[in-house]
Amino acid sequence: MIVVRGAQGIPLRVNGGPNNIDAAHPNLLRLKLLAIPTCTKVTLLFTDFREVDPDQDIEAFELAINEFPVETRIKASTAWTGGGSATATLSAGIAGTLDKFLPAFDIFQPVGDTVRSRDAQASRWPESTAAVTSLRVNLVSDVNVSLLTAGRLDLYVWTVTLP
């Protein structure tokens, strides 16, 4: 599994426009910067799932205190195959609600530019204001997930952290 995190920038204007920096309101800049979504890309490989079970969830990354997803997307880059499996889906969420941020996505679909899924506004409030939360992905197959022999997909999660 490969995890990459980076912030998306919003250009700020010194005078005028919606991103105006006002010297009379020094916290304005701070609040705008806190509201910039951070994109985390997690690359999942078939080798990340090794349970001798048709259902396995693993941690993709941890959500910081006061951090919450605002959009989640998934796209396969290598077809998933193996083990005589006819169906397999992947979802994203938290323990207890493994599809909270992304509903089940059929990972056995042919790979293509338009074969993807997204769930906008994944959450409206942080999972915890006191502790980090494990963002998990769940693979469900009709055979043991350890029998899969190929597959790669990218999970993109845009998050915002409250001050």
Is there a contact between 135 and 5 (Cβ–Cβ < 8 Å)?
Answer: no
Indicate the SS3 state at residue 158: strand
How far is Cα 49 from Cα 20, in angstroms, rounded to an integer?
Answer: 47
Interval 131-155 mean pLDDT = 94
Residue 13 falls inside a structural domain: no
- In terms of residue numbers, what domain contains 151? 44-161
Residue 85 falls inside a structural domain: yes
The predicted-structure confidence for 22-55, as pLDDT tens digits, reads as follows 444 444 444 444 567 888 999 999 999 999 999 9
pTM of the model as a whole: 0.77
The total of structural domains in the chain comes to 1
Interval 88-97 mean pLDDT = 93
The predicted-structure confidence for 109-129, as pLDDT tens digits, reads as follows 889 888 888 886 556 678 888
Residue 12 falls inside a structural domain: no
